[in-house]
Structure 1
Amino acid sequence: MNRINKRIGYSLLAGILLSSCAKHEMLDYFAEKPESVIAQEDIDSYAPLISYLDKDANPSFKWGVALNMDDYLNKGVMYRLVNRNFEEMVMGYEMKHSSIVQADGSLNLSKLERLVAAAKENNMALFGHTLTWHSGQNATYLNSLIAPIVIPGSGGPSLDPSVIANTDFETDISGWSGWGNSSTHEQSANGEGYDNIGHALKITNPSPVNSWEAQLAYDFTNQLEEGSTYVLSLKIKGSKAGPIGAGFQNPANYSGQGDYPALAITNEWKEIKLSTIISGPNAKRFLVNFGTFDGSIWIDDITIRREDPNGGSNGPSEGGYALKLTNPTVVNAWEAQTVHDLTGMENNTEYILKVAAKGSKTGNISFDLQSTADYQGNGFGAITLTTDYKEYELKLTTTALRNRFIINHGQYDGITYIDNISLTKAGSNTNLLTNGDFENGISPWGGWGNNSTRSHSAQGEGYGGPGGSIIEKTPEEKKSIITDALETFIAGMLSVTKDYVKAWDVVNEPMSDWPDQYALKTGVGKAELAEDEFYWQDYLGKDYAVQAIQFARQYGNPEDILFINDYGLEGAGNKCKGLIAYVDYVESKGVTVDGIGTQMHIDINTNKDNIINMYELLAATGKLIKVSELDIGLGDGIKTPNATAEMYQKQAEMYKFVIEKYFEIIPKAQQYGITVWSPLDSPDNQYSFWRRGEPIGIWSETFVRKPAYQAVAEALEKQK
């Protein structure tokens, strides 16, 4: 056993200076050291965990840990703990889609580049997590790519003349300029205009970068009117399918003053019409951001016109007042909230929310019911706003008494209009939200956060009823657009990591929990999607993992180790068998899955026979096997204040069991490694999103080693 030898003793300091000659006598007194102190000293005498691995016996095995990126980059206590005890790390969140993909579809990879550099500096392996998942996605952006096309109804609004002079490019491209990434902007040859007639503006970008690193610009003589709606109309095609961005800018300080929803282009000419509201002063520049699109784009017949609010309505009609919510910057959803306190709510009861809403751009907001006593709640889920009013209906069933209704709009940076909002108990017509039509102001609605404003909008901005029409994109169009979005993300991630990151969770949590554990998860029919939920498989089909692995091979290294990872494989059902069957299916399509990850978020009461059965099934695949997200709770949601010494001992025994059985059952050639998902106990505060308040770690929340530390050290040593 690799231990730190300590000699522990006690002494009594008795040197007291006296001014007299009185004799000093030592008292014959001895106190037993408490057993708890002795036990902790024994645990603390163990060496760092990594020292217990026999790397000569199994040089490929990785002992890993999950953490937050800032905890490593800030080089604090967690940084030192990780470097001393582990040899591989994985980011819990910051390498996922929603952390990287910005509102306009561009990729913010600068922080990831810093992480790679820091890992290299400490010779710390970095495991990639994750390239394709249904959660942790920038769903607002992805949904905007496949949003329906809004068709104006008859009697639509009158529009001012276009603020762009050179709209059809039949003579030249004067007025248009651009920069970045060796991009070119030119007038295409005769016959390359819309329907191959006349001329078009052609822009070409040789390689993907951040969206703003390749731009096309048109400057106006006069600034656009703040608060007014401007309609962009154009005909466009690309050398391939993909999204680009467009919007307005203040050229004096480069601040954005209103972005259009993403322009989803294909390799065929299509007409696009979009609206946005000018959100700030000195909007004198129109920009097309195409840095993430590597290829050529043709634009023809482009106009930008101010919508005359007195000229009719486009889509649903407007009338009366609405609640107007303004949020200047994207933050966490709960950091900008609008609330209405409630009375008369009931537990275990279904409630129905109805609302009419629109926004200054496409994006998501969500709704919750909450208890103000402990801030726990139930979520209705998110809605996707468009620039026209739409009616929404959401439902939930309470799991405790709730007394507050919440609108979460922190992740929507724009203006939201809410009208005709009602909350009713199922079977009742009584609206529990007073002043739901805002015809008499906004009382009793209030809120907080992020310098957000709430106001009673002007007469005529309320919802006046349905109207207009929309055209949904076909399944084939959606598949093409979403495939391109997946490729853009994977290519961007691997562009900054491939020289150092050699292993990835390419597909995370594909399998359904119930009723068919051989089927893929799906968002179809799910009433309440979270703000970050987007099911790639619903658009790309069962081969979505095949496509993701192909992209990972294409943009990564040929020898990269690619995993499919899931949770609950140690359960009593067929999920482990279902995942293995899906891996077989994926490989039947001509790609290779190198490994299978089993997360193992378990507790001290988890059935040990089921764990053994899972290991045996996984070992039989011949694949590399990784315990990818190991943490162990005390069962029944027990939190730290209620934990006992006996529970901690059982937790230690379970950690030891999981690790020892891995080494015993998984053949050495298939042992990729084990990653501890939560090295510390989970804090009990509003910022804790994983097993909140549960003592699941090897260390306490204050970095004190627990009995589990000793058990893990002893289990790792048995690897020999």
Structure 2
Amino acid sequence: MNLRYKTGTFFFAAALLGSSCAKQFTADFPVDKPESIIAQEDIDSYEPLLSYLDKDANPDFHWGVAVNASDYLGKGVMHRLVNRNFDELVTGNAMKHFSIVQDDGSLNLANVQSLIELAAENEMGIYGHTLVWHAGQNAAYLNSLIAPENIGGPSWDLVTAIDFETDDNANYLYTDNAAVSFTADGQGANDQGRALQLTNTAARANDWDVQFFISLDQSVAVGERYELSIDIKSDAAANYSTQAHRVPYEYMHYDFFGSISSTPEWSTYTREITISEEMAGAGAIAFNLGLNATTYYFDNIAISKFNEEGGSGPVGDSGYALVLSNPSVVNSWEAQTAYDFDAVDANTAFTLSIAAKGSKAGSIGVDLQNSADYSGESFGNISLGTEYQEYTFTLTSTDLRNRFIVNHGTYDGTVYIDDVRLTVAGSTANLIANGDFESGMAGWGGWGNGSNRQLSANGEGYGGPGGSIIEKTPEEKEQIISQALETFIAGMMEVTKGHIKAWDVVNEPISDWPDQYALKTGIGKEDMAADEFYWQDYLGKDYAVKAIQYARQYGDPEDKLFINDYGLEGGGDKCEGLIAYVDYVESKGVTVDGIGTQMHIDINTNKDNIINMYELLAATGKLIKVSELDIGLGDNTQTPNATAEQYAAQAEMYKFVIEKYFEIIPKAQQYGITVWSPLDSPNSQYSFWRKGEPIGLWTETFVRKPAYQAVAEALEKQK
């Protein structure tokens, strides 16, 4: 028989949780026990939560909890708490794609197998979470499957490279007029590594009176194309020329790789040349430093040769690209590159696609403008990596537009852009005539901060000479990603079949804004997380159909398959949007057994919206699961700041959510409720969920809270 408790317990126990600790002492006279202590003793006298659930009256109801697989497998306090208080567990990450799929595509299911075996020993059910999601994916592996293919076209082959990390490189030397040392203030790929530091103590009569030489690993020949890339800076602004030498000190031609400008900030100088008759036979570059009395710094020197027939160059280095170099950080608009096109009227929908990379990570902006008054609108920012990526943006103009602009003032480095395509709705014509730069730089210009623009054969490759990079078609990508999804689900079901009988097959499919009837997408999204991969962008709206088909094919026919999402109690269209998507999926011939609602809410969540959500879900006739219930105190309230009144309100909200579930959801549709965070969330660097919030039924130290009592009483009512 379960105990009955005093009224007012919520408040007094909450008062205990909200008070600070004091040093204990032994009194020499009797005192009354504080009400808060009595209240906590009342809560502690409750039985485990599972004992309050009448399984005879609710035989198909699952009372679940989320737990880290390692905590359960460790057989410690959390293991015992789960076994005593719940009859089903779900793991936070152990069954997600990135925990299972290795970088070579193999599946590591050993941890899942161990969890199944231990749960079976303790007669504990497991709910599967999750088969298809946009987060928690091994995105690097999935993206590698659909990456462009290198078919051996033209490439840039590295000829000479010097990073100054050691003293034993014979490819460089310098004149006696310079003081030479090394600095640990390196740049680029070896940031904070060594760089060469060369000081010219006085301005000389001739620039060649102080020289720094780089010897090439091979002599150059007429018609060959070479590219120099070098990280540079100087204590004072300086400009210096480069000469072609047969070997150091054997002069051939004054201009080799152009004139270089440096500032006190590191920048990357890049120059591509075609070898003339005057340069033929050169095997060294001389940097003429004599005219400026300053200290120069050099790092990460690379000389590459263009190989028309293909070779060992990196994938994608083919065709031409526009190279933008900005020596120092200024306002974004203070270094701009632009292309003017025929004017397009206001209220026009534009789509921009562009490929870009940089000499380091950073960001540049892309805008449209009216050149007459400089008014404009932004497509957004491009987050650059050191390998080419493709970006797609859209905007609808509010005024006439005739100029495309790249804002690169805040990026102090070298940017490569290629395959720029700007179109308007209803047309496939590119407003930028030579956006692939295969016909040169015509139409492109720029200004600001001493930045420069030049053409490079270090392009992305699409449309480049020889076409060394072949992009997979949408149909090919769909087939490849379908196979990857099938492999993952088949492997999961092979180990879990007969043990896990319900699954979140599809997790969080619906967009948050602006259209809550649409699917989420990663198209055009910047700063994609390392574990993000949107299956729907490759498989389309039917991605959930495929996932359910695979789950039915490889699992047990009687498994219960759910589609799950958050924010359904938010008062917007998301609940109806999810229901509409479930209807769509079933129209394709598969069965969705249930709908999960996550309910990561707080004490201020609108209760009418919760009731409305339950009513909408009940009307579907599907199994309904509260899949991830936790309740905060509102306004990101942290545990040290929580009050007794807030803990009481939290307890009342837990009770409300559970009681209304049993009241509104018909018994035949009641799959169950899962508490997502049984303990309050710690405020530590390892806490990734509602960090520092007191959202649980227990404190971090396993002390029962008023919410524990509220949940026990809500469960006990369900006879």
Using the size of structure 2 for normalisation, the TM-score is 0.58
Other-structure match for 1:554: 553
Residues in 2 aligned to 1:381 and 1:61: alpha-carbon distance in whole angstroms: 49
- Tell me how far 1:484 sits from its aligned partner: 0.3
- Tell me how far 1:38 sits from its aligned partner: 1.1
Answer yes or no: is the 8 Å Cα contact 2:392–2:524 preserved in 1: no
Residues in 2 aligned to 1:642 and 1:354: alpha-carbon distance in whole angstroms: 47
Other-structure match for 1:587: 586
Residues in 1 aligned to 2:388 and 2:317: alpha-carbon distance in whole angstroms: 8
Matches within 5 A, 1:701-712: 701-712=700-711
Answer yes or no: is the 8 Å Cα contact 1:382–1:530 preserved in 2: no
Answer yes or no: is the 8 Å Cα contact 1:152–1:468 preserved in 2: no
Matched AA of 1:540: L
SS at match of 1:542: helix
SS at match of 2:712: helix
Answer yes or no: is the 8 Å Cα contact 1:523–1:534 preserved in 2: yes
Residues in 2 aligned to 1:366 and 1:138: alpha-carbon distance in whole angstroms: 24
Answer yes or no: is the 8 Å Cα contact 2:651–2:710 preserved in 1: yes
Answer yes or no: is the 8 Å Cα contact 1:4–1:45 preserved in 2: no
- Tell me how far 1:701 sits from its aligned partner: 0.8
Other-structure match for 1:466: 459
Aligned sequence identity (%): 70
Other-structure match for 2:352: none
Residues in 2 aligned to 1:555 and 1:310: alpha-carbon distance in whole angstroms: 53
SS at match of 1:625: strand
Matched, 1:132 2:129: no
SS at match of 1:141: helix
Matched, 1:390 2:388: yes
Matches within 5 A, 1:300-699: 312=307, 314=313, 315-316=316-317, 356=358, 389-390=387-388, 430-431=409-410, 465-466=458-459, 468-469=461-462, 470-699=469-698
Other-structure match for 2:58: 58
Residues in 1 aligned to 2:576 and 2:683: alpha-carbon distance in whole angstroms: 35
Other-structure match for 1:46: 46
- Per-residue CA deviation, residues 371-391 of structure 1 (Å, 9 max, x unaligned), is xxxxxxxxx998787xxx437
Residues in 1 aligned to 2:136 and 2:580: alpha-carbon distance in whole angstroms: 25
SS at match of 1:563: strand
Matched AA of 1:67: V
1:570 to 1:155, Cα distance in 2 relative to 1, 3 A: closer
Residues in 1 aligned to 2:503 and 2:519: alpha-carbon distance in whole angstroms: 20
SS at match of 2:529: coil
Residues in 1 aligned to 2:384 and 2:651: alpha-carbon distance in whole angstroms: 44
SS at match of 1:543: helix
1:482 to 1:52, Cα distance in 2 relative to 1, 3 A: same
Answer yes or no: is the 8 Å Cα contact 1:633–1:651 preserved in 2: yes
- Tell me how far 1:559 sits from its aligned partner: 0.4
1:431 to 1:664, Cα distance in 2 relative to 1, 3 A: closer
1:28 to 1:502, Cα distance in 2 relative to 1, 3 A: closer
Matched AA of 1:3: L
Matched AA of 2:317: P
1:137 to 1:383, Cα distance in 2 relative to 1, 3 A: farther
Answer yes or no: is the 8 Å Cα contact 2:96–2:136 preserved in 1: yes
SS at match of 1:131: strand
- Tell me how far 1:345 sits from its aligned partner: 11
- Tell me how far 1:472 sits from its aligned partner: 1.4
Answer yes or no: is the 8 Å Cα contact 1:512–1:520 preserved in 2: yes
Give the count of matched residue pairs: 449
Residues in 2 aligned to 1:700 and 1:366: alpha-carbon distance in whole angstroms: 42
- Per-residue CA deviation, residues 522-562 of structure 1 (Å, 9 max, x unaligned), is 11121221111111111111111111000000000000010
Other-structure match for 1:714: 713
SS at match of 1:569: coil
SS at match of 1:571: coil
Answer yes or no: is the 8 Å Cα contact 1:563–1:593 preserved in 2: yes
SS at match of 1:81: helix
Other-structure match for 1:444: none
1:465 to 1:698, Cα distance in 2 relative to 1, 3 A: same
**Where does the alignment leave 5 or more consecutive residues of structure 1 unmatched?**
7-26, 160-307, 319-341, 347-352, 359-364, 368-379, 396-425, 438-462
- Tell me how far 1:61 sits from its aligned partner: 0.3
Answer yes or no: is the 8 Å Cα contact 1:64–1:89 preserved in 2: yes
Residues in 1 aligned to 2:589 and 2:101: alpha-carbon distance in whole angstroms: 29
SS at match of 1:501: coil
Answer yes or no: is the 8 Å Cα contact 1:366–1:531 preserved in 2: no
Matches within 5 A, 1:239-254: none
- Tell me how far 1:499 sits from its aligned partner: 1.9
- Per-residue CA deviation, residues 36-75 of structure 1 (Å, 9 max, x unaligned), is 2111111101000000000011111000000111000111
Other-structure match for 1:77: 77
Other-structure match for 1:148: 148
Matched AA of 1:477: E
Answer yes or no: is the 8 Å Cα contact 1:382–1:531 preserved in 2: no
Answer yes or no: is the 8 Å Cα contact 2:156–2:318 preserved in 1: no
Residues in 1 aligned to 2:305 and 2:585: alpha-carbon distance in whole angstroms: 57
- Tell me how far 1:508 sits from its aligned partner: 0.6
Answer yes or no: is the 8 Å Cα contact 2:510–2:577 preserved in 1: yes
Answer yes or no: is the 8 Å Cα contact 2:330–2:409 preserved in 1: no
Other-structure match for 1:244: none
Matched AA of 1:150: N
- Tell me how far 1:490 sits from its aligned partner: 0.1
Residues in 1 aligned to 2:149 and 2:132: alpha-carbon distance in whole angstroms: 27
- Tell me how far 1:35 sits from its aligned partner: 1.8
1:552 to 1:581, Cα distance in 2 relative to 1, 3 A: same
- Per-residue CA deviation, residues 231-273 of structure 1 (Å, 9 max, x unaligned), is xxxxxxxxxxxxxxxxxxxxxxxxxxxxxxxxxxxxxxxxxxx
SS at match of 1:130: strand
- Tell me how far 1:30 sits from its aligned partner: 2.0
Answer yes or no: is the 8 Å Cα contact 2:83–2:122 preserved in 1: yes
- Per-residue CA deviation, residues 259-299 of structure 1 (Å, 9 max, x unaligned), is xxxxxxxxxxxxxxxxxxxxxxxxxxxxxxxxxxxxxxxxx
Residues in 1 aligned to 2:388 and 2:28: alpha-carbon distance in whole angstroms: 85
1:150 to 1:103, Cα distance in 2 relative to 1, 3 A: same
Residues in 1 aligned to 2:591 and 2:30: alpha-carbon distance in whole angstroms: 68
Matched AA of 1:356: G
SS at match of 2:127: strand
1:155 to 1:69, Cα distance in 2 relative to 1, 3 A: closer
- Tell me how far 1:516 sits from its aligned partner: 1.1
Residues in 2 aligned to 1:91 and 1:468: alpha-carbon distance in whole angstroms: 44
- Per-residue CA deviation, residues 328-370 of structure 1 (Å, 9 max, x unaligned), is xxxxxxxxxxxxxx99999xxxxxx985269xxxxxx999xxx
Answer yes or no: is the 8 Å Cα contact 2:680–2:693 preserved in 1: yes
Other-structure match for 1:87: 87
Matched AA of 2:71: D
SS at match of 2:541: coil
Residues in 2 aligned to 1:488 and 1:590: alpha-carbon distance in whole angstroms: 22
Residues in 2 aligned to 1:626 and 1:131: alpha-carbon distance in whole angstroms: 17
Aligned Cα root-mean-square deviation (Å): 3.5
Matched, 1:33 2:7: no
Residues in 2 aligned to 1:704 and 1:343: alpha-carbon distance in whole angstroms: 53
SS at match of 2:628: strand
Residues in 2 aligned to 1:123 and 1:148: alpha-carbon distance in whole angstroms: 49
Matched AA of 1:658: V
Other-structure match for 1:221: none
- Tell me how far 1:3 sits from its aligned partner: 2.6
- Tell me how far 1:584 sits from its aligned partner: 0.9
Answer yes or no: is the 8 Å Cα contact 2:156–2:458 preserved in 1: no
SS at match of 2:671: strand
Matches within 5 A, 1:221-236: none
Other-structure match for 2:112: 112
Answer yes or no: is the 8 Å Cα contact 1:683–1:692 preserved in 2: yes
- Tell me how far 1:154 sits from its aligned partner: 3.5
Structure having the higher Rg: 2
Matched AA of 1:536: W
1:383 to 1:98, Cα distance in 2 relative to 1, 3 A: farther
Other-structure match for 2:99: 99
SS at match of 1:713: helix
1:525 to 1:679, Cα distance in 2 relative to 1, 3 A: same
Other-structure match for 2:419: none
Answer yes or no: is the 8 Å Cα contact 2:154–2:306 preserved in 1: no
1:38 to 1:579, Cα distance in 2 relative to 1, 3 A: same
SS at match of 1:37: helix
